[in-house]
Structure 1
Amino acid sequence: MFLGSKRFVRRLVAERGITYVKDRRHVFVPESAVAEYLAAHTCPYCDGCRVGGPHSAQAGA
């Protein structure tokens, strides 16, 4: 599963936004934690809403 850039994953870990396991200097994110994160942060109406799309805040403005 793809979460984005290394920087984004590091930020999620730093902000405790995702479950992780630290083994000395390596950090592992279980696949189940990635699936939970994606399910919680995915728009239920479409796959990949864009700014100005039908479900964005700016669409009605």
Structure 2
Amino acid sequence: MVQKAPSLVSLAMEVLKTELLREDDLVPIIYEMPVELFDILLTHLPPLGLQKLQREMLV
């Protein structure tokens, strides 16, 4: 069975998710992403990543 290669968008979302969980300085850059990509990222984030985004939004 042939496996489908992941899309560039899904690979980028995985990198952003990993980096967001490691450090907070990526948050301002994430908020500048186009809405379509931001929405996709939200579906990939675990609760801790969502909490970090929400905490920075309130500042």
TM over 0.5: no
* Structure 1 or 2: more helix by fraction: 2
